[in-house]
C-alpha cells in the first residue's frame, strides 16, 4: 500500500527488489536505484557518497484499495505515462511482464503496443487505457522492450491435490502438496510460489484442428508450453480482424479488440475466436507471435518449512466454468487439480515477500483471510506453533457455508484449542438470511480490535483485492473513527502510518 507519509513519522526503510523477482539483474539494479532515490536512501543503492536524489515523485493512485475513477482523478493533469499508470490494478504483480509504472511508461512511449496485459485490471483497465491512448498524440514507436525475465524455475514434484471443500460446496478448493527434494528452493512464511504449468492438451489439440495443423509437432509444443491461448491480446484480435474475409467477422473482432461492451464472444480464448470467425486465418506464425507468453501462476504458500520440511503446500481455488457449451479451465489450477502427476516435474521458483510475521514473536497479530486467503495464515500459524510464539493471534476467516467451506477447519480448531490462536472470528455468507462477511465480524469486535492495535498488533489481509480487501480497509478506518475518535482524514493517515511501520500488510490479488 503506497501513500504519502504523514508528517512527523520516521522515514521508512528502503525496499529492495528481491533476487527472485521477475526482472533481469540490470532491471533490478535500475529499480533498486529508483527506490533508493524515492525513499531518500542513496546509501542503500550502494553509493553513500552519491549526490542527493531528486525530490521523490508522488504516486497517490498507486493503491489497489482505490476505485479506478478515483485513481484517474488523482492523476488528472499529469503526464500521459502517469495517467496511464493510474488505470492499472496497482498490484505490481508482474503478470504483464512489467511493474504498473513501467508498463504505463512503455505504453506512453510506444515501446509496448498492447493495452490488455493487466490481468487483474481486466476489461475496465483496458478500456481506460485505450481511451487515454486514443486522446493522446501518437508516440514515436520505439524498439520493443523484452519482457522482464523470470528467475529460472527449479524442478518440483507433485505429491497430492486433496479437496478441501466438502460435497455440495459451490467451490472446489485443493490442498496442493509439492516435493522440493530435487530443487534447492527455500522459503519463509509469507512467500509465494510461482508455478509454471502447460496448457490443457485437449484445448491445444482443438486449436490445432481449427488451424488445420493437427500433425505439426513443433506448433503443438509451442502452444502447449510457451503461449497463453486462454487470454488472447487485443493485438491478436486486431490481427484476426485484418485477416477476416467476411466483413461482419472483421467488425466483430475489432469490437472485441476495442473492449466494447456487449462484444461477442465475451471472455474469448483462442479456440472461441477461431471457431466464431472461420473466415479469419492469418499466417500461423503471425498468429502465434501475437499471443502472450505463458506465464507462471503465483500462489501464496500455505505451509511453514519448519512444519513441512522438504515440501511446500498451497491452497488453490480451481477455476472452471461453462461458457458457450464447453468447460473453460484455469490453466494452472486445473492442471494441479486434475492433470499433474508425480512422474512429470513442474517448474517453480519462490517469490520472496515483505509479507512477514513480526520479528518479535510476542507481538500480537491479526489475520484476515477469507477463502483461499487463508493460505499465508496457515503458514504463519504453523510457524508460530513450531517456534513456541507467545504473542496473541486472532484469525478472521469466512466463506460461503460452515459445513462445506471451512478450509483447514480441523487444524484451525485445534490451534484454537491449543492456544496457538487466541481468538477466532468466523463469517459464513450463505448460512443465514443475512450475508455475513469478515468485515462485519471486524465491526462487531471493534472495541477489542482497537485495543489489540493500540497494544502494537500487526494487521494482515490476504485475498481478493477488488472487493474484500477494500471492504476490510474501510472497516478498519471505521474502527479508527468509532473507537479512536478520529476524523476520516485522520483515520486515513493512521492507516498510512501503520503501513509504513510494517504493521498493516496486504497480500491481495
Q: What is the CATH number of the domain that holds 323?
A: 2.40.30.10
- 432: domain CATH number? 3.40.50.80
Considering the domain architecture, whether residues 113 and 166 belong to the same structural domain is answered as no
Task: Evaluate if residue 112 carries a pLDDT over 80.
Answer: yes
Considering the domain architecture, whether residues 326 and 439 belong to the same structural domain is answered as no
**What is the tens place of the pLDDT at every residue in 422-432?**
999 999 999 99
Task: Evaluate if residue 36 carries a pLDDT over 90.
Answer: no
- pLDDT for 130 equals 87
Separation between Cα atoms, residue 275 and residue 210, nearest integer Å: 7
Q: Which of 290, 324, 343 is the last residue of a domain?
A: 290
Reported confidence tier of residue 6, pLDDT bands at 50, 70, 90: very low
Residue 146 located in a structural domain: no
Pairing of strands 311-317, 458-463: unpaired
Considering the domain architecture, whether residues 277 and 239 belong to the same structural domain is answered as yes
Distances, alpha carbon 56 to alpha carbons 53, 179, 246, 271, in Å: 8, 44, 53, 47
Separation between Cα atoms, residue 358 and residue 393, nearest integer Å: 12
- pLDDT for 210 equals 97
Residue 142 located in a structural domain: no
Total residue length of the chain: 509
How does DSSP assign 357-401, residue by residue?
--SSTTS-EEEE--GGGGHHHHHHHHHHHHHT--S-EEEEEEES-
Task: Find residue 299's DSSP bridge partners.
Answer: 193
Q: Which of 21-35, 102-116, 147-161 has the lowest mean pLDDT?
A: 21-35
- Rounded to the nearest 10 degrees, what angle do helices 375-387 and 409-418 cross at? 30
Average pLDDT over residues 43-61: 55
In 85-238, which ranges are E strands? 154-163, 173-179, 192-196
Within 226-303, residue ranges assigned H as helices are: 234-243, 247-257, 270-276, 284-290
Considering the domain architecture, whether residues 29 and 115 belong to the same structural domain is answered as yes
DSSP state of 420: S
Considering the domain architecture, whether residues 391 and 499 belong to the same structural domain is answered as yes
Compute how many other C-beta atoms are within 10 angstroms of the C-beta atom of residue 381.
Answer: 26
Considering the domain architecture, whether residues 191 and 300 belong to the same structural domain is answered as yes
Residue 19 located in a structural domain: no
Average pLDDT over residues 28-46: 42
* Count: domains in the chain: 4
In 166-264, which ranges are E strands? 173-179, 192-196
Distances, alpha carbon 291 to alpha carbons 69, 114, 231, 234, in Å: 30, 11, 8, 9
- pLDDT for 40 equals 37
Residue 4 located in a structural domain: no
- pLDDT for 429 equals 97
Q: What percent of the chain has pLDDT over 70?
A: 86
Q: Which of 150-154, 412-416, 488-492 has the lowest mean pLDDT?
A: 150-154
Residue 359 located in a structural domain: no
- pLDDT for 392 equals 98
Considering the domain architecture, whether residues 216 and 276 belong to the same structural domain is answered as yes
Query: Taking the C-alpha atoms of 129, 283, 331 and 278 in order, what is their torsion angle to the nearest 10 degrees?
Result: 90
Considering the domain architecture, whether residues 76 and 185 belong to the same structural domain is answered as no
Considering the domain architecture, whether residues 277 and 225 belong to the same structural domain is answered as yes
Considering the domain architecture, whether residues 267 and 400 belong to the same structural domain is answered as no
Contact indicator for 455, 366 with CB cutoff of 8 Å: no
Nearest to 499 by CA among 448, 460, 454: 460
Residue 306 located in a structural domain: yes
Reported confidence tier of residue 448, pLDDT bands at 50, 70, 90: very high
Separation between Cα atoms, residue 474 and residue 442, nearest integer Å: 11
In 64-131, which ranges are E strands? none
| Residues of the domain holding 167 | 154-197+296-351
Task: Evaluate if residue 194 carries a pLDDT over 60.
Answer: yes
Considering the domain architecture, whether residues 184 and 217 belong to the same structural domain is answered as no
**What is the tens place of the pLDDT at every residue in 460-505?**
999 988 789 889 999 999 999 999 999 999 999 999 899 889 999 9
Considering the domain architecture, whether residues 207 and 282 belong to the same structural domain is answered as yes
Q: Which of 290, 305, 336 is the last residue of a domain?
A: 290
Residue 143 located in a structural domain: no
Amino acid at each position: 500500500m503506497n501513500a504519502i507519509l504523514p508528517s512527523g513519522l520516521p522515514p521508512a526503510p528502503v525496499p529492495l527488489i528481491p533476487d527472485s523477482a521477475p526482472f533481469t539483474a540490470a532491471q533490478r539494479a535500475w529499480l533498486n536505484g529508483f527506490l533508493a532515490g524515492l525513499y531518500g536512501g542513496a546509501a542503500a543503492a550502494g553509493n553513500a557518497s552519491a549526490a542527493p536524489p531528486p525530490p521523490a515523485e508522488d504516486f497517490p493512485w498507486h493503491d489497489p484499495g482505490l476505485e479506478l475513477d478515483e485513481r484517474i482523478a488523482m492523476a488528472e493533469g499529469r503526464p500521459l505515462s502517469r495517467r496511464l499508470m493510474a488505470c492499472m490494478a496497482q498490484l505490481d504483480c508482474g503478470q504483464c511482464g512489467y511493474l504498473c509504472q513501467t508498463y504505463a511508461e512503455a505504453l506512453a512511449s510506444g515501446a509496448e503496443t498492447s493495452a490488455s496485459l493487466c490481468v487483474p485490471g481486466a476489461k475496465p483497465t483496458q478500456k481506460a487505457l485505450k481511451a487515454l491512448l486514443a486522446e493522446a498524440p501518437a508516440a514515436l514507436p520505439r524498439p520493443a522492450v523484452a519482457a522482464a525475465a523470470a528467475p529460472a524455475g527449479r524442478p518440483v514434484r507433485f505429491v497430492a491435490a486433496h479437496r478441501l471443500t466438502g460435497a455440495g460446496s459451490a467451490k472446489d478448493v485443493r490442498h496442493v502438496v509439492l516435493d522440493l527434494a530435487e530443487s534447492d528452493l527455500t522459503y519463509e512464511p509469507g512467500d509465494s510460489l510461482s508455478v509454471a504449468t502447460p496448457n490443457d492438451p485437449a484445448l491445444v489439440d482443438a486449436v490445432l484442428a481449427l488451424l488445420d495443423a493437427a500433425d505439426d509437432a513443433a506448433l503443438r509444443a509451442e502452444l502447449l508450453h510457451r503461449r497463453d491461448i486462454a487470454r488472447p491480446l487485443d493485438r491478436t484480435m486486431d490481427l484476426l480482424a485484418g485477416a477476416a474475409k467476411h466483413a461482419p467477422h472483421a467488425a466483430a473482432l475489432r469490437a472485441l479488440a476495442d473492449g466494447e461492451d456487449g462484444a461477442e464472444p465475451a471472455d474469448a480464448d483462442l479456440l472461441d475466436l477461431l471457431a466464431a470467425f472461420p473466415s479469419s486465418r492469418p499466417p500461423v506464425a503471425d498468429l502465434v507471435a501475437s499471443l502472450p507468453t505463458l506465464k507462471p501462476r503465483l500462489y501464496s504458500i500455505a505451509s511453514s518449512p519448519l512444519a513441512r520440511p522438504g515440501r511446500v503446500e498451497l491452497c488453490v481455488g480451481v477455476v472452471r466454468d461453462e461458457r458457450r457449451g464447453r468447460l473453460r479451465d484455469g490453466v494452472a489450477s486445473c492442471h494441479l487439480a486434475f492433470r499433474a502427476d508425480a512422474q512429470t516435474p513442474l517448474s517453480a521458483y519462490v517469490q520472496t515477500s515483505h509479507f512477514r510475521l513480526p520479528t518479535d514473536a510476542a507481538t500480537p497479530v491479526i489475520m484476515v483471510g477469507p477463502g483461499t486467503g487463508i493460505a499465508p495464515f496457515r503458514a504463519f500459524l504453523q510457524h508460530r506453533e513450531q517456534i513456541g510464539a507467545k504473542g496473541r493471534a486472532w484469525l478472521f476467516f469466512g466463506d460461503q457455508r460452515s459445513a462445506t467451506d471451512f478450509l483447514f477447519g480441523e487444524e484451525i480448531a485445534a490451534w484454537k484449542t491449543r492456544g496457538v490462536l487466541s481468538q477466532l472470528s468466523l463469517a459464513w455468507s450463505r448460512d443465514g438470511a443475512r450475508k455475513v462477511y469478515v468485515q462485519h465480524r471486524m465491526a462487531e469486535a471493534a472495541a477489542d480490535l482497537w485495543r489489540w492495535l493500540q497494544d502494537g498488533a500487526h494487521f494482515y489481509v490476504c485475498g481478493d483485492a477488488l472487493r474484500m480487501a477494500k471492504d476490510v480497509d474501510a472497516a478498519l478506518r471505521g474502527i479508527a473513527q468509532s473507537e479512536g475518535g478520529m476524523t476520516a482524514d485522520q483515520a486515513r493517515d493512521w492507516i498510512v502510518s501503520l503501513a509504513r511501520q510494517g504493521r498493516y500488510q496486504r497480500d491481495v490479488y
